[in-house]
Amino acid sequence: VIHEKSRMAIMSMLAGSPELSFTELRNSLKMTDGNLTTHIRTLQKSGYISVSKSFRENRPLTTCTLTVSGIRAFNDYVSLLEEIVKQAQRSK
């Protein structure tokens, strides 16, 4: 699930911050609302992120955080990528 470029970018941003708003993710990743929503739903259905909806100053606020399962999946995927790079460097 997280190997897809946009979802990996979302996971990477959330790994570096305890919580990010939908707007912060959208602006940083330069994604459309619909595209970001689709990827967030996929990650949420997989149990990798949690989504909270609230109001701040009478305006809707959607925030995303990594779940424990999401942190584990992200770290495992990064470790796998690092191992692939090491193997590629050894074979040169």
Residue 92 has pLDDT above 80, yes or no: no
Predicted pLDDT of residue 77: 97
Residue range 5-50, pLDDT digits in tens: 999 999 999 999 999 999 999 999 999 999 999 999 999 999 999 9
What CA–CA distance (Å, rounded) separates 52 from 61?
Answer: 8
Residue 18's identity, in one-letter code, is: P
What CA–CA distance (Å, rounded) separates 65 from 48?
Answer: 9
CATH of the domain at 73: 1.10.10.10
User: How many secondary structure helices (H) and strands (E) does the chain include?
Assistant: 4, 3
Predicted pLDDT of residue 91: 86
- What strand order describes the sheet that includes 59-66? 20-21, 59-66, 49-56
Domain that holds residue 56: 5-90
What CA–CA distance (Å, rounded) separates 33 from 60?
Answer: 14
pTM: 0.91
User: How far, CA to CA in Å, does 84 sit from each of 58, 74, 89?
Assistant: 48, 15, 9
| Number of domains into which the chain is organized | 1
Predicted pLDDT of residue 75: 97
Percent of the chain with pLDDT over 90: 96
E strand or H helix at 58:
none
